[in-house]
Amino acid sequence: MPDPSVYPGADYYDVTMRKGTWRFHRDLGPATVWGYWAKHPHDPHKAIGMGYLGPTISVTKDRPTVVKWRNELPTTHMFQSVVDGIRGGDPQLTPVAPPPYKSEPPFPKNVNVWNVVHQHGGFTAPQSDGAPLHSFSPDGVHAESYTTLEPGKVEPNEAICAYTNRELSSMLWYHDHGMGMTSLNVYAGLAGLYLVRDPADERLGLPQGEYEVPLVLQDRTFHKDGSLAYTMTQQEGEDTPVVNGKAYPFLAVEPRRYRLRILNASNERFWRLRFDVPRDVLPQPTLPFWLIGTDGGFRAPLRMLNFLIGSAERYDLIVDFSRMPMGTNVTLTNYNAPVHYPGGGGPEISEIMQFRVTEPLSAGGDRTTPPEKLKLPEVAPIEPEPGIRRREWVLYQHELFGTMTFNAVPFMEPSQDFIKAGSTEIWEYINPNHDAHPMHVHLINFQVLNRQPIDAAGYQADYEKWLDGGRRPEDRPVLANYLTGPPIPPDPDEARSYKDTVKSYPETVTRIITQEFSPPTGTIASIPGSGTTLPATYIHHCHILEHEDDDLMRPWTIVGTDGDHEGDGHGK
């Protein structure tokens, strides 16, 4: 519930991160969790939240939002032993810089908990982007690039951010991005949904109200008393599916169309999802559905039987239960997606949740538009211009289970990639490893251009020689010499879609083409200093959160057309 009286023409929220309790299942005891709580603008004694995760923020396109984020979490972490391991130099947990760089601790000795909120998928000025080095602790310790709007209106454990809401109609999300401990903080519960709504969507005839259901997919492990167990220091992935904070839930549905908006908010797990039905209900045991949107908004409807969703990706689906006899259980099933994908050895999860067709069809029936007749906004392909800049990002890992970096450069090193404002680029994620990685780029949407197989072993060996030889630019391995097959078009669910996260498959170069690098420069919600000034630094990173914490993350900087980037580091 926003307060529109604080900033004219904008919605204001006051949101606090704090500890709470939550039952993940009726057969489990209460667990200590972290979550976001929003202040009720009309009743100061009634906070809005669950304890785990955060309230869904629903905004109107082009109407700005301002949020004061407050940190009232404990100063000792829920998973303090992992924090101690990182601080103590545990080689499985602590980022180790490749030569010739020196390793730096990801957080100070006097900090066990710090946080910052990132609006994932947002068109946001850098000072409100929630980058890791904007972190702040419950007792007011600030990371090196901490920033806030309206500094005279915040305490040391607070920050004010302004969001443009100039995105297309889409489902974004917000989550913790604390430097060095994002994985732990999100696992504890710090994530929530952010819906950008366009009034023009009302004429599309989509399911809405109780028939539009967001599903936040995660995997978790529990102690016998029901408390959260963080076991990813011992294994890949967790063992129990959790949807909207509940383990193995069900949803009672009517025999009609539903809009399911799915977010993969797992730390590490990819899910390959389908809707299984009893064999005597349909000729095939899988219920077809329609994909109508991805990370950045609507796309042309696509009829599908299954899809693979990486960490942080969103899929917008229409699922029709009208052909299901009353009493039918439709099971959301995960299959052929080990952790780490595609060849890991983590715990398998098959059944996730059920849709039980037990509710009578509401009065008036289903008047929504059949998916095959939907008139959704077209996504025009971004065409490469002659001479477009190509930028290579090598997923470098010296040894198995060792630290991962982009281009063998630690995150804490200043930005080395300068992008002219208003330009578009092709980014090539070169992955010679055996795992897939979901790559997220802050600020912009992009399209998947293609993928191409590479001689991974040959490229890795020659890249190592190049590093050992002093990294002379003229001697860097030329990607074209290691390609082993023709370009592969985007997956059907990616084609003609706006994305902010892409699957970088193993032994493959994955190419994306960006929209223009044009951050919001105007004043937001009449707040001085809320727009972007150049140079402006953002980041990109793997959204396997443990990989992000282990240094698979780099800054990049937008500069003016004169190319001036004097004084820029990680920036604000």
CATH number (domain holding residue 435): 2.60.40.420
Same domain, 223 and 189: no
Whether 36 and 183 map to the same domain: the answer is: yes
Q: Is 80 domain-assigned?
A: yes
Question: Do 293 and 404 have their domain in common?
Answer: no
Q: Give the whole-angstrom CA distance, residue 341 versus residue 311.
A: 11
pLDDT at 572: 44
Please report whether residue 417 resides in a domain: yes
Residue 271 CA neighbour count, 13 Å, CB half: 31
| Claim to verify: residue 215 and residue 192 sit in the same structural domain | no
What is the distance between the alpha carbons of residues 492 and 495, in angstroms, rounded to a whole number? 5
Q: In what order do the strands lie in the sheet with 250-253?
A: 250-253, 351-357, 329-334, 271-276, 307-309
Q: Beta strand pairing status for 446-453 and 508-514?
A: antiparallel
Q: Is residue 572 part of a domain?
A: no
420 three-class SS: strand
Distance CA(379)–CA(168), nearest Å, equals 11
Question: Tokens at residue 544, please?
Answer: 């396997």
Residues in a beta bridge with 419 = 558
Residue pointed to by tokens 């920033």: 147
Nearest residue to 545 via CA among 446, 394, 349, 404: 404
Rounded to whole angstroms, the Cα distance separating 120 from 172 reads: 6
| Whether residue 102 sits in one domain with residue 49 | yes
Any domain includes 385: no
pLDDT for 565: 58
For residues 518 and 316, is the Cβ–Cβ distance under 8 A?
Answer: no
pLDDT (0 to 100) of residue 45: 87
Is 231 inside any structural domain? yes
Q: List Cβ neighbours of 76 (8 Å cut-off, separation of 6 or more).
A: 112, 113
Q: Domain end: 199, 231, 264, which one?
A: 199
Per-block mean pLDDT, blocks of 10 residues, the chain (572 long): 95 98 97 97 91 97 98 98 95 92 95 98 98 98 98 98 98 98 98 98 97 98 97 94 98 98 98 95 91 98 98 98 96 96 94 98 95 94 95 93 94 98 98 97 98 98 97 97 98 97 98 97 97 98 97 98 62 49
268 and 359 in a single domain? The answer is: yes
pLDDT score for 284: 84
* Residues in contact with 358: Cβ distance below 8 Å, sequence separation at least 6, in sequence order: 252, 253, 326, 327
166 and 234 within one domain: no
Q: Are 115 and 54 members of one domain?
A: yes
Beta bridge partners of 19: 34
- Domains held by the chain: number: 3
Q: Count the residues in the chain.
A: 572
Q: What share of the chain is helix, strand, coil (3-state, %, to 5)?
A: 10, 35, 55
Identify whether residues 32 and 173 lie together within a single domain. yes
The residue type at 392: E
Domain contains 164: yes
- What letter represents residue 105's amino acid? P
Residue 187 shares a structural domain with residue 284: no
Distance between CA atoms of 160 and 459, rounded to whole angstroms?
Answer: 45
Is residue 114 situated within a structural domain?
Answer: yes
Partners of 80 in beta bridges: none
Helices (H), 311-397: none
Kindly state the tokens that stand for 517: 């690098």
- With tokens 């490749």, the residue in question is 98
Is 570 a member of any domain? no
Q: 417 and 471 share a domain? A: yes
Q: Whole-structure pTM over 0.85, yes or no? A: yes
pLDDT at 569: 65
Answer with the one of 331, 346, 373 that is the final residue of a domain: 373
Check residue 200 and report its DSSP letter: G
> Taken in order 467, 469, 472, 477, is the CA torsion positive or negative?
negative
Q: Where a domain ends, among 159, 178, 199?
A: 199
113/242 same-domain check: no
Distance CA 312, CA 268 (A): 10
- The token pair at 477 is 């391995």
pLDDT digits (tens, 9 = 90+) for 368-401: 999 999 999 989 999 999 999 999 999 999 887 7
C-alpha span between 295 and 297 (Å, rounded) = 6
Domain that residue 438 falls in = 390-423+425-516+534-559
What's the alpha-carbon Rg for the chain, to the nearest Å?
Answer: 23
